[in-house]
Amino acid sequence: MIDERHETLEAAAAIVLAGAAARGIRIATAENCTGGLIATLLSGVDTRARWFERGLVVASEAAQRELLGVPQALLDQCGAVSRPVALAMAEGARIRSAADAGLAVTGRQAPVAEGEEEGLVFVAACSGERAECHEYHLGALEGEALRDHAALAGLSVLADIVKDYPAAPPPGTIVEICP
């Protein structure tokens, strides 16, 4: 049985992929607190999944450094759950793949250290021309609920980036490139 929340996530993924197909762009994701849910959704929507380049689950700072190129100094200064790190993750996913747009979601379900906020999530998306990051305060949600809310937020931000990406010329159009 598929619940309403799952149908909403699938619909959001379909919107992102339809936009990517219309513009001829490929997408890469870097996920922490969503555990690959966004990648699963983007790779599982019929034939439009070809617009999904790759998805990385980067649960540790080491993975963020090694796979996405997030500088250790940035992690030390800002913490893994922060606006600058989310932006670096999105850009790293885009640059280190054949993608035109990158998405990153990082957050924490429960505080690890004193003073950390429970349910804090950062969602960043970028293309070659634009980058944006949104901060969400989801509070004390159970694991699956937090993951689903963060994934929906991620797909929403990605849909905006994709929507604003320049449209691809229609098939058969001759594009002249001048030196």
Residue 158's alpha-carbon distances to 1, 139, 148, 164, in angstroms, are 27, 23, 15, 10
- Reported as a pLDDT band with limits 50, 70 and 90, residue 169 is low
Tens of pLDDT, residue by residue over 17-58, are: 999 988 989 999 999 999 999 999 999 866 556 889 999 999
pLDDT of res. 46: 63
The single residue listed with the structure tokens 């924490």 is 108
How far is the C-alpha of 174 from the C-alpha of 92, rounded, in Å? 32
> What's the chain's average pLDDT?
87
State the alpha helices, DSSP H only, in 24-82: 37-43, 61-68, 72-78
pLDDT of res. 2: 40
Mean pLDDT of 138-147: 87
Given a cut of 60, whether residue 178 has pLDDT beyond it is: no
Mean pLDDT of 163-177: 64
Crossing angle of helices 83-95/61-68, nearest 10°? 40
Nearest to 67 by CA among 57, 77, 75, 78: 57
Q: Answer with the residue of higher pLDDT: 105 or 22.
A: 105
Domains of the chain: 4-163 (3.90.950.20)
